[in-house]
Structure 1
Amino acid sequence: RHRRPSSGLRRRVDRHRHLHRPWQKSRSCIKAETGPPYGGRPLTGYDFSLRQLLGHTSGLPDYYSLASYRKGVAANEEPWPAAQLREAAMAQGRLFAPGKGWFYSNLGYMLARDQIEDVTQQSFSSLVKQMICDPLSLRSVELALTRRDFDRIHWPSASGYHPGWVYHGCLTGTAVDAAKILHALFMGELLNAPTLSEMRIHHPLGGAIEGRPWTECGYALGLMSGRCGEAGRVIGHSGGGPFSVNAVYHFPDLPTPITVASFTDGKNEGVAEFAAVKAALRD
């Protein structure tokens, strides 16, 4: 079962900016189970695999590190053409050879989305609907494409934001549906057991982080994965942007495994993470 979010968030529509990562990985794995190529082979035209893109071991830089990108977002400018974004990001240079390090790269997720759409010959939004939302009977989740799509977001400061700045895709929906999706993933409703097990293999990244509940940190395929003290293992994703932060996590070590979705305003992901852990332990 999933934990219903508290603090009146049941009917609010929130931005699931960073929750697209486990969903994106889930779609990749679903397609692997039904035919198209997936996994460890280098992608055509590249020296890294889809697995390395999703696990952040491709060596690609991140586009958020570009000062001009952050300036454009802050000034509420129109998003750059995708080709311009890729060129600017890659001008920073490769960080390491594929598989020889770890660095969080939104550019990698952008390329992963392109690969998924190329292989399936379907749009990102269609795949989300067909492979995740329809099977789980979810009605709130949508891919935001225009400024107007953010009119339904709970946070007043979200008004006018252009989701095109999130080049790998920006999904919106209720906190309840965010929790339902992640819970369904870990309950085996979206992937078979071997594929889900592969998705959960993580790359250790260290211990505690000041101001956040993590006591052990790592990253799996599209999933932040570690431990949070007495809550035990915690798997899911945190995220943030110009006006809100979120933490949507599954807690498999509790007597009854649950999933919690926590959204709040501000820019401190630790606030949402602590709230998620507290809610999980209170259940």
Structure 2
Amino acid sequence: MTTLPRELSPTVAAVFAAVDAERQRLGVPGAVVAVRSPDAEPWSVALGVRDIATDEPLAVDAVLRVGSVTKTIVATVVLRLTERGELGLDDDILAHLPHVRVPSGVTVRRLLDMTAGLPEYTTEEFMEISHTTPDRVWGPQELLDLAFREPHRFAPGSSWDYCNAGYILLGMLAEHVTGDLVEDLARKLVLDPLGLHDTSLPPRSAAGTSLPDATVRGYHRVGAELVDTTDVNPSWAWTAGNAISTADDLVVLVEALVRGDLLAEETQRARLAGVPVPGTDWSYGLGIANFGGIWGHNGELPGFQAFAGHEPGTGRTIVVLANVDKSTDEVNPADTLAALVRRHLAPGTA
């Protein structure tokens, strides 16, 4: 059992104890949980271990991969470029990148809210290749070429489907119109303005493979086995999911995104005008999701899973980072732990 800090109040300690018990039940080696609430003290707690071989405890300031939470950063970069006049939300992508094999009607807005209908490259076959060639540095065009082997899923604007390929295309677009690397754009337009010094988009090179602290490991679950996939080069996810961050940084990020701190009011309204996600009560805006009243994003890369959400109705923020991608019962561990925290903090239960 993880030893919780003595200074936690009884109420908060009970929440984190329940979360730690669930973490152990789910077979999650380590997790960092950060909670901010207007009616309770702010806390960030590390549970479990950073490395199953050494049993070293995971630190609360551990820098982990956050997967598709990256999309919130990249979308904010693109939205800020629209405010600078370098792009328009309803610009056709072909007006900027005429060589890309997409139909007319694939716009910046439709890439951001995943209504463009692009095919996907992150198939089971591709993920197996990425696991067996961990040092490979993937190029964005290479990823799109893999996606475009398949037919487009639907006519642009006629439906919704989650799509990583669209965010690869947005990364290419941002670099094309500015002449800057997207990791530099993220630093300049999002991360530095918010003071997020432990968050970055790693370079698309061999140098982007390792985490800042090599003692922190991430595990891909294969049946009952945990396979260390920490050092799979994340270039295959690039602007769809290669960011690294801490739980405390993601608290700042998701609260700023939901408030619209970096955007004009009109742009923020457009961002939050979500498209219904079929089969759920969720909606998806411009690089941000509404999970039934809590806004943010989740993410998964081999070895890691993350959830970052802010609930405007209560003022609460919940962030969970896990160093495994699936639980023993094949659910997303960070999402599951975040939902448990949310239930415990609901009125009358905590």
Matched, 1:52 2:110: yes
Q: Residue 231 of structure 2 is aligned with which of 145, 160, 164?
A: 160
Unaligned regions of 5+ residues in structure 1, if any?
A: 209-215, 228-232
In the TM superposition, residue 42 of structure 1 has moved relative to its aligned partner by: 1.1
C-alpha separation in 2, matches of 1:81 and 1:132: 24
* Stretch deviating more after TM superposition (176-185 or 36-45): 36-45
CA contact 1:141–1:173 (8 Å) conserved in 2: yes
Map 1:98-117 → 2, pairs under 5 A: 98-117=156-175
Tell me what 2:140 maps to.
82
**How much identity, in percent, do the aligned residues show?**
23
1:264–1:222 CA distance, 2 compared to 1 (3 A): same
Matching residue within 209, 212, 220 for 2:285: 220
Per-residue displacement from partner, 1:1-54 (whole Å, max 9, x unpaired)?
x72433355311111221111111111111222221221131213521011111
Partners of 2:139 and 2:85 lie apart in 1 by 32
| CA drift at 1:170 | 1.1
Alignment partner, residue 28 of structure 1: 78
Q: Is the 8 A contact 1:238 1:246 kept in 2?
A: yes
Q: Could you tell me which residue of structure 1 aligns to residue 312 of structure 2?
A: 252
In the alignment, what sits opposite 2:22? none
Q: Which runs of 5+ in 2 are unaligned?
A: 1-34, 37-42, 48-58, 219-227
Q: Which entry has the higher C-alpha Rg, 1 or 2? A: 2
Q: TM-score, normalised by structure 2?
A: 0.70
Say which of 247, 250, 262 aligns to 1:175: 247
* CA positional deviation for 1:66: 5.6
Per the TM alignment, residue 238 of structure 1 is displaced from its structure 2 partner at its CA by: 1.0
**Residue 6 of structure 1 is aligned with which of 30, 33, 45?**
45
Could you tell me whether the CA contact under 8 Å between 1:5 and 1:260 is conserved in 2?
A: no
Match of 1:149 in 2: 210
Does residue 296 of structure 2 align to residue 236 of structure 1? yes
What's the Cα RMSD here?
Answer: 2.3
Question: Residue 231 of structure 2 aligns to which amino acid in structure 1?
Answer: G
- Give the secondary-structure state (helix, strand or coil) at the position aligned to 2:141: helix
User: What's the offset of the Cα at 1:64?
Assistant: 0.6
- Which structure shows the bigger proportion of residues in helix conformation? 1
Amino acid at match of 2:150: Q
Please say which of residues 120-129 and 83-92 is displaced more in the overlay: 83-92
Are the equivalent residues in 1 in contact too, given 2:258–2:295 (CA < 8 A)? no
Contact 2:66 2:300 in 1 (8 A): no
Aligned counterpart, 2:154: 96
Does the alignment pair 1:41 with 2:124? no
Normalising by structure 1, what TM-score? 0.86
SS in 2 for 1:247: strand
Distance 2:256 2:307 in 1: 17
The Cα of 1:253 is off from its aligned counterpart by: 1.3
Q: Does residue 205 of structure 1 match 2:277? A: yes
Q: What secondary structure does 2:185 align onto?
A: helix
Distance in 2, matches of 1:90 and 1:148, equals 26
For residues 251 and 207 of structure 1, what CA distance do their matches in structure 2 show?
Answer: 22
Q: Report the residue type matching 1:261 in the other structure.
A: V
CA distance in 2, matches of 1:120, 1:204: 32
Give CA deviations for 1:127-169 in whole Å, capped at 9, x if unaligned.
Answer: 1111112212221112223354325263253432111121325
Displacement of 1:180 in angstroms is 0.7
Letter in 2 for 1:170: N
- 2: CA distance between counterparts of 1:152 and 1:226? 32
Aligned length: 268
